[in-house]
Amino acid sequence: MSQTITDPTQLRAEQAHTLRIGLVSISDRASSGTYQDLGIPALNEWLSDCLQSPHEIITRLIPDERMQIEQTLINLVDNLHCHLVLTTGGTGPSRRDVTPEATLAVATKEMPGFGEQMRQISLRFVPTAILSRQVAVIRETTDHAALILNLPGQPKSIKETLEGLRDEAGNSVVPGIFAAIPYCIDLIGGPYIETDPSICKAFRPKSALKKTT
């Protein structure tokens, strides 16, 4: 049965335990309607399958315009209080690819390990993975912080990057980046995230594991 919460204190408490995720697809052609965006549906599907914690998703489809990307990221974090923002598209070397620059411009600190691991995964498939400029950053305000990540644009690559690679026996060959995201969100003051381990097992040190009763 659904419950309407009217008490502001209780509402804030409920929101504090709900992971809020911003999904931003960055593409001139998709945002203009020239072709259908595939990034946000792929992310929505994967997150729905993987996450076992309460979560809300906010989506944005915008063109490759640096100022608009920056404003969108700032709004999602500062005003809509997303804990995690995932972008797709705009990370290559072409003139219109400005997602990394916009992401770095709104950052408080950089998290280079995520970009290194994303390229490591992609290099298993194509040598042109070295052309990717994906970055990850933390954006902090006085009372809130969020992790912002640039992901690939293709659904297959999105899944591989988040989930990692497995051999025929199902053993992990290359860890996906999402395994580290729940603990990162813990460290910046966000809600505790639980995942389906058959898709992507969240890694935390023993001291950070949630006690069960």
In sign, the C-alpha dihedral spanning 55, 60, 64, 66 is negative
Give the confidence band of 210 by pLDDT, cuts at 50, 70, 90.
confident
Residue 210 belongs to a domain:
no
Q: How many domains does the chain have?
A: 1
What's 104's domain CATH number?
Answer: 3.40.980.10
Contact (CB, 8 A) for 185 and 145: no
Mean pLDDT of the chain: 90
Residue 16 belongs to a domain:
yes
Please write the tens of the pLDDT for every residue from 93-121: 999 999 999 999 999 999 999 999 999 99
Please write the tens of the pLDDT for every residue from 144-194: 999 999 999 889 999 999 999 887 877 778 889 999 999 999 999 999 999
Domain that holds residue 123: 9-202
Determine the pLDDT at residue 6: 45
pLDDT of 75 strictly over 80? yes
Residue 212 belongs to a domain:
no
Determine the pLDDT at residue 30: 86
- The residue whose two tokens read 């060959």 is 173
Determine the pLDDT at residue 1: 33
